[in-house]
Amino acid sequence: MGLRTPEQYKASLRDGREVYYRGELVPDVTTHPVIGVAVEHACIDYRLAEDPRYRDLAVMTDPQTGELYSRYYHIPQNSEDLLQRSRLIATSTREGATLVVLIKEIGTDALFALHIVAEELAKRGKPEYRERVQKYYRMCRDRDYGVAVAQSDVKGDRSLGPQGQEHPDYYVRVVEERPDGIVVRGAKVHTSVSTNTDEVIVLPTRAMRAEDKPYAVAFALPIATKGLKLIASSYGGFKKDPFEFPISARHKMMETLTIFDDVFVPWERVFLCGETEAAGLLALTFVKFHRFTAVSYKLPLLELLAGAARAMAEYNGVENAAHIREKLTKLATYHATVQGLIIAAAQQHEILPPGVAVPNTLLTNVAKYQFAANYHTAVQMVQDVSGGLLVTGPSVEDWRSEAIGPYIRKYLGGKKGVPTEHRLRMLNLISDLTASDFGGYQEVLAVHAEGSLEAEKIQTYREYDFDAAAAYARELAGIK
């Protein structure tokens, strides 16, 4: 089938999927006043592939068949593949006004991980998973699908694993094995973009012990599957004017509580079933790719924080004040640090069977941690430079009012020569990004999405070569 147009993508979402928004079943996600914004946002990935400016970056040709396919589906084999993927993710996020598109990014992260783990399982005498993963990958690639990933279980008591919880369904599990497939029950949470993808891949969220056998499960389903119920997140569900909300009026991503109400999965879509020893490997291998995606899509956001702070400082006439320059320098350092770590992580990749280039895990986690641990401080600096009008400013109706608009033009100006409109537009942009419902979403996304801060610290501790560092210290101390 090859590449799809945005219209073909949207048409594929009218498939009878069971999506709920504020208690009501949504008959058509593409025309829903809130989810429809997310659908339009997701079209960016399909538009990029048609845009002559980005076609070389977004589209690849299969050397065997000559067919075109989305670069997201290209399995990375070297540094250049990883860097091009990272550039594509950053480019589409830039088109999305700093909000990631994600409908192909996250699904392909999972598919790359599944290739590696299926190869490992084949070595352990289970070749059937490799065939299934390859077939599923080809189908998604050839149909140009959007694919969500449901990894995070609802988890109940976090100090426990799947066992010993108040009920057995806090982690998704197999409740029945049949000759033709399995039946699964449970719920995943925070599943991004699932309201508007074709498929969802389900992965284990953690390592499993021998007694957790029913929970060591991975599979894929079309979103429109009987028993699969999506309860959509509800933040920011009001109509926004782009003057006041330049980003969030047009760009949105939905998350869902994703419920598997005794859902049947045919065997050809099952990628792990009871192999407890491979559950942790799959969870972690996915994260290796997914955190690289995460830091790649943060770059436009970090550039915007530095750029908006600089523009605002100029409009307020304070760009040469020492404390402002210090803040701008810190914002530039923040952006450059994450950018440099991404390049280094791609260059220092490892190749895992069957020949997949995996970004350097230590550097990827350090990049993600640097981003997440410093985000709120960066927001604080931008807010500091901008002033309190971020939350006390007039509305778009006031600005357009014949009676009071002139007062706003007169009194909310800044530095001589800067039109009040420019100053207000920049304030609205920063307010939308840092002080609106969308700003709050961005802050939580920074802390939790793609794993919490602790998860990145644990990986960093595991990957850093302390033995070599301690040996060096001993040598200098004269300890044999």
CB closer to ligand FAD, 408 vs 445 = 445
Using CB under 6 A as the criterion, which residues of the chain lie in contact with ligand FAD when the complex forms? Answer: 106, 149-152, 155, 158-159, 190-192, 255, 444-445, 448-452, 454
Considering the complex, what minimum distance in angstroms separates the CB of residue 323 from ligand FAD? 32
> For residue 24, what are the β-bridge partners?
21
Distances, alpha carbon 77 to alpha carbons 337, 347, 355, in Å: 25, 12, 6
**Quick check: 5 and 46 in contact, CB under 8 A?**
yes
Considering the complex, what minimum distance in angstroms separates the CB of residue 313 from ligand FAD? 30
Considering the complex, what minimum distance in angstroms separates the CB of residue 123 from ligand FAD? 27
Edge-to-edge, what's the strand order for the sheet holding 270-273? Answer: 147-150, 199-202, 217-222, 270-273
CB closer to ligand FAD, 439 vs 451 = 451
Longest CA span, the chain: 83
CB closer to ligand FAD, 190 vs 288 = 190
CB closer to ligand FAD, 60 vs 149 = 149
CB closer to ligand FAD, 158 vs 167 = 158
Taking CA 207 as the corner, what is the angle to CA 206 and CA 212, rounded to the nearest 5 degrees? 105
CB closer to ligand FAD, 84 vs 98 = 98
Phi, psi (rounded to 5 degrees) for 470: -70, -35
**Quick check: 98 and 300 in contact, CB under 8 A?**
yes
In the numeric block, which tokens belong to residue 201? Answer: 């891949």
Distances, alpha carbon 71 to alpha carbons 68, 96, 105, 164, in Å: 9, 18, 10, 44
Cis, peptide link before residue 222, omega less than 30° from 0:
no
Question: Measured between alpha carbons, how far is 358 from 353 in angstroms, rounded to an integer?
Answer: 10
Question: Measured between alpha carbons, how far is 105 from 87 in angstroms, rounded to an integer?
Answer: 12
In the numeric block, which tokens belong to residue 246? Answer: 């330049």
CB closer to ligand FAD, 192 vs 225 = 192
Question: Measured between alpha carbons, how far is 68 from 175 in angstroms, rounded to an integer?
Answer: 40
- Classify residue 165 by its DSSP letter: S
CB closer to ligand FAD, 71 vs 290 = 290
Contacts of residue 98, defined as CB under 8 A and 6 or more positions apart, other chains included, come to: 247, 300, 301, 304, 433
**Quick check: 222 and 134 in contact, CB under 8 A?**
no
CB closer to ligand FAD, 393 vs 451 = 451
Considering the complex, what minimum distance in angstroms separates the CB of residue 60 from ligand FAD? 25
Considering the complex, what minimum distance in angstroms separates the CB of residue 156 from ligand FAD? 10
Contacts of residue 318, defined as CB under 8 A and 6 or more positions apart, other chains included, come to: 324, 385
Q: Nearest to residue 389, comparing CAs of 334, 351, 428?
A: 428
CB closer to ligand FAD, 235 vs 243 = 235
Sign, CA torsion 34/35/41/44: negative
Which DSSP string corresponds to 224-235? S-TTEEEEE--T
Considering the complex, what minimum distance in angstroms separates the CB of residue 42 from ligand FAD? 13
Considering the complex, what minimum distance in angstroms separates the CB of residue 148 from ligand FAD? 6
In the numeric block, which tokens belong to residue 232? Answer: 């959509």
Considering the complex, what minimum distance in angstroms separates the CB of residue 199 from ligand FAD? 13
Considering the complex, what minimum distance in angstroms separates the CB of residue 129 from ligand FAD? 21
Considering the complex, what minimum distance in angstroms separates the CB of residue 350 from ligand FAD? 23
Considering the complex, what minimum distance in angstroms separates the CB of residue 107 from ligand FAD? 10
Question: Measured between alpha carbons, how far is 312 from 305 in angstroms, rounded to an integer?
Answer: 11
CB closer to ligand FAD, 250 vs 457 = 457
